Structure 1
Amino acid sequence: MPMKAPISLPTSSVARNALVTIAVVATGAAVYWLRDILTPLAMAIFLLIMIDGVKRFIEARTRVPQRFAGAAALILVVLLFFASIGIIVNGAAGFFDEATGVTSRIGPRIDQILIDGGRVLGIDTVPTAAELMTQLDVRSYVASAALQAQGVLTGAFFVMIYLAFLLASQSGFRRKIIGMFPDRTARGEALEVFQRVRGGVEGYLWVQTVTGAMICAAAWLLMRAVGLQNAEFWTFVIFIIGFIPVLGGAVAGLAPPLFALVQFETYWQAAVLLIGLQIILFISGNLIQPRMQGDNQNIDPVVVLLALAFWGKVWGVVGMFLSTPLAVMAMAILAEFKGSRWMAILLSGDGEPYADEETPPTGSRRRVNPPQGKAD
C-alpha cells in the first residue's frame, strides 16, 4: 500500500509565527531585566506627552505668547510632579505622627473590633491585637517601606534627567522624521501613528484627571462630614491611585472606611464612608466616565486587567500606573498595519480600533479618508 505524502506545512508562516513568539518573549525578558533603566524613561516619556498636551492647551485657550507656552507647560507639569511626591511623603509622615499619638487606644480598639466581629461570626475566642502583632515581622515591613521611599526619590531624580534629555532632543525630531521617511506619504503615515498614540494617551489622562477630581471632591466632603482625620491626605491618595485601573477603585473605596474603624468608637462612620464611597465610585465608573472617554479608551476590560497584571509584575507600581496608557499606545500602533490589525481588534472594546471608523451599508469596515500606501 503506497504511503501518503506528508502534509506540507506553510513553513513561511510557521517560521514567522515562531520568530514573533521568540521576539515577544525576548522583549518581555529584556523589559523586565532593564526595568531600573526603562521605568524612569517610561515615566519621562509620559510626562513629555503631558507637557506637550498642556502646551497646546495653553496656546489654544490662553493669551500666553506661543514662545512662552512650552516653558509654562514644563514648569507646571514639573511642579505638579514634585508636588505630588511632596504631598504623599509629608501626608504619610503626618498620618503616622498622628497614629503614634493615639497608639494607646489603637490596640484596645482593634481588640474590640475583633471581639465584635467574632460575635457576629459566632466565634467565642478571638486573638488580640498584640497576639496578631507578634506573628508579623514589623521590622521587615518598616525596612521595606523605607526602601520603597528611597526608590521613589531616586526614581524621581532619574525621571527628571531623562525628561531633560528628551526635551533637548525635541528640536531635532522633525529632521529625524524627514531622514527616516523621505517619502511624504510614508512620513504622513508615521505622523498619523504618532498622533493616534498621543491622542489616545492624552484622552486617557484627561478623562482620568477630570473624573478623579469629581470623585475626590465628593469623597472629601463625605470624609469631612463624618470627621475622618487626614481627609486631605486621603483625598489626594484617592486621586493618585485612581490612575491604577481596577485596584485604584478598590483601595479608594476600602482604605478610608478601614481607618475609620480604628479612629471612631462606633461603627456608623465607617459604614457611611463605605456605602458613600461605593456609590460615588459606581456613579463615576458607570455613568460619568463612559460618557467622557468615548473612543479615547476603547479597550477591552480583560485587556486592561491583563495589562495591569503584566506591567505590575514587570515594573511594579509604576507599571500599574502606565498599564492602560501602554495598552492604548499598543492598540494605536498595531491598528496601523495590516499584518497586526487583528491584534488591535482583539485589544479594542468593540472591535473598532480606529476612532474614525464607520460602518458602510454593506456591513464591511472601512477607514474614513484612509492614507495611501498603508504599510503591511
Structure 2
Amino acid sequence: MGDGSGQKVATVIIAVVLVGAAASQARSVLAPLAAALFIIAIVWPAQKWLQSWMPKLAALAITMLVTVAVCLAFASLAAWGFGRVGHFLVADAGRYQTFYERAVVWLDGHGIEVASLWAEHFNVGWLLRATQYVTGRVNTTLSFWLIALVYVVLGLLEVEDAKRRIDRLENATATRVLCHGSAATAAKFRKYLLVRTQMSAVTGLLVGLFAGVTGLPFAFEWGVIAFVLNYIPFIGPFIATLFPTLLAMTQFESWPAVFGVFACLNIIQFVVGSYVEPRVAGNTLSISPFIVLFAIFLWTFLWGLFGTFIGVPITLALLTFCGEHPSTRWLAELLGGPADAKRAKL
C-alpha cells in the first residue's frame, strides 16, 4: 500500500514537471491563448448584454472598441507620467552629470574605477545589442497582443456555441464540471481584476501622498505611474520605485534622504503588494495568500513578464476546476483561502 502511494505521488510530481516544461516551451502559443481567455471572461457579460439589444457583430465591435480603448488608456497614463518626468530629467541633465562626476571621484578615491568599467562594458556594441533587444521585445509584444485580440474576437463569437456543445455531452459529470467551472472561473477573474484595481489605486494614492509630503517633484505623476505599473506584480512596482529614487538623487543631494525615499517607497510597495493584496485576494477569491505569491513566481519563471500578470488567474482557474470534481476537490480545499475553510466547516 505504501509503495503504491509513493508511486502515485512520484507519478504526479513527474507529470507536473513535464506539464510545466511543456508550458514553458509552448509559451508563444499558450500565452496569447491564456490572455484571450482571461479577457473573454472579463468582457463577456458586457458582450452578452449588448447582444440582447443589437446584432451580435455590432455588439462584438463595441465590446472590442471599449476593451482596446481601456487598454490604450492605461498605456497612455503611464506614457503621460513618464513623458512629464522625462522632459524634466532632460532639462536637468546638467545636475545629473555633476552628480555622476562626484560619484566617480568618490568611487575612484576608494579604489573603484568606474570610468574604466563603463568604457569596457558600455560601448557602442553594447548599445547596439541593447537596441536590438528592445526592438525585438517590442515586436514580440505587438505580435503577442495581436494574436490575443484575434483569439478574443473568435472566442466571443463562439461562447454560446461552446456552451451548447458542452450541454450536449453524454457525460453528465464532464458537462457539470465544464459549465460550473467556467462560470465560477469567469466570476473569480472579474473579482481578481477588481481587487487588483483597488490595490493599485491604494498604492498610487500612497506613493503620490508620500512624494507630495517629502517634496519630491511630480507627486501626482508618480502616483499615476505607480497605479498603472502595479498591475504588473513585482516588476512594475520595482520600476515605480526606481525612477522616483533617481529623481531624488538630484533633488535632495543627500544620501540619507535618497535612501529614505527608496526605503519608504519599497515599504509601501511591499506592504500593499506582498501583505495586504495577497490577503484581500485570498479572502475574496478563496485562495491561500501563499499560493498567490507562489503562482506569481512560478508563472514568471515559465512565461516571463506576461506570466507575472496572468499567473494568479491561471492558478485560480486550475483550483476552481479542481473544486468542481470529487476526485480533485481535496486539492482546491487544501490550497483554498479562509472562505473555503469556512464553507468546509459549515
TM bin (shorter chain): 0.7 to 0.9
Change (3 A) 1:285 1:16: closer
Aligned to 2:151: 162
Aligned to 1:125: 110
CA contact (8 A) 1:335 1:345 kept: yes
The structural deviation recorded for 1:32 is 1.6
The amino acid that maps onto 2:138 is A
The amino acid that maps onto 1:359 is K
The structural deviation recorded for 1:315 is 1.0
Q: Which of 20, 26, 41 is equivalent to 1:49?
A: 41
Change (3 A) 1:355 1:67: farther
Aligned to 2:28: 36
Cα deviations across residues 65-115 of structure 1 (Å, max 9, x unaligned)? 952677654432221123334555676567556544544432321344577
Indicate yes or no: 2:256 matched with 1:266: no
Any gaps of 5 or more consecutive residues in structure 1?
1-6, 361-376
Q: Which of 47, 53, 67 is equivalent to 1:77?
A: 67
The structural deviation recorded for 1:49 is 1.6
Change (3 A) 1:236 1:196: same
The amino acid that maps onto 2:20 is G
The structural deviation recorded for 1:193 is 1.5
Q: Distance in 1 between matches of 2:21 and 2:97?
A: 46
Q: Distance in 2 between matches of 1:29 and 1:65?
A: 40
Aligned to 1:67: 53
The structural deviation recorded for 1:320 is 0.6
Change (3 A) 1:53 1:266: farther
Q: Distance in 1 between matches of 2:141 and 2:219?
A: 22
1:189-338 to 2 correspondences below 5 Å:
189-223=177-211, 226-229=215-218, 232=221, 234-252=222-240, 254-267=241-254, 270=258, 273-274=261-262, 277-278=265-266, 280-281=268-269, 284=272, 289=277, 292-293=280-281, 295-338=283-326
Aligned to 1:367: none
Change (3 A) 1:223 1:128: farther
Q: Pairwise CA RMSD of aligned residues?
A: 3.8
Q: How many residues align?
A: 336
Q: Distance in 2 between matches of 1:104 and 1:18?
A: 62
The amino acid that maps onto 1:76 is V
CA contact (8 A) 2:104 2:115 kept: no
3-state SS in 2 of match to 1:67: coil
The amino acid that maps onto 2:305 is V
Change (3 A) 1:30 1:269: same
Aligned to 2:160: 171
Q: Distance in 2 between matches of 1:291 and 1:29?
A: 30
The structural deviation recorded for 1:188 is 3.8
More helix by percentage: 2
The amino acid that maps onto 1:67 is W
3-state SS in 1 of match to 2:201: helix
Q: Distance in 2 between matches of 1:34 and 1:172?
A: 27
Aligned to 1:357: 343
CA contact (8 A) 2:95 2:250 kept: no
The structural deviation recorded for 1:51 is 0.8
3-state SS in 2 of match to 1:23: helix
CA contact (8 A) 1:257 1:270 kept: no
TM-score, length basis structure 1: 0.72
Q: Percent identity?
A: 22
The structural deviation recorded for 1:337 is 2.6
Q: Distance in 1 between matches of 2:218 and 2:112?
A: 27
Indicate yes or no: 2:341 matched with 1:341: no
Any gaps of 5 or more consecutive residues in structure 2?
none
CA contact (8 A) 2:200 2:230 kept: yes
TM-score, length basis structure 2: 0.78
The amino acid that maps onto 2:38 is F
Q: Distance in 1 between matches of 2:227 and 2:198?
A: 10
The answer to which structure, 1 or 2, has the higher relative contact order (CA under 8 A, 6+ apart) is 2
CA contact (8 A) 2:283 2:337 kept: no
The structural deviation recorded for 1:357 is 1.0
Q: Which runs of 4+ in 1 moved over 6 A?
A: none
Q: Distance in 2 between matches of 1:100 and 1:141?
A: 21
The structural deviation recorded for 1:166 is 1.2
The amino acid that maps onto 1:177 is I
Q: Distance in 2 between matches of 1:47 and 1:236?
A: 23
The structural deviation recorded for 1:255 is 1.6
When Rg is computed on C-alpha atoms for both structures, the one with the higher figure is: 1
Change (3 A) 1:154 1:85: farther
Change (3 A) 1:136 1:113: same
Indicate yes or no: 2:137 matched with 1:148: yes
CA contact (8 A) 1:215 1:280 kept: yes
The structural deviation recorded for 1:207 is 0.8
Q: Which of 172, 180, 187 is equivalent to 2:169?
A: 180
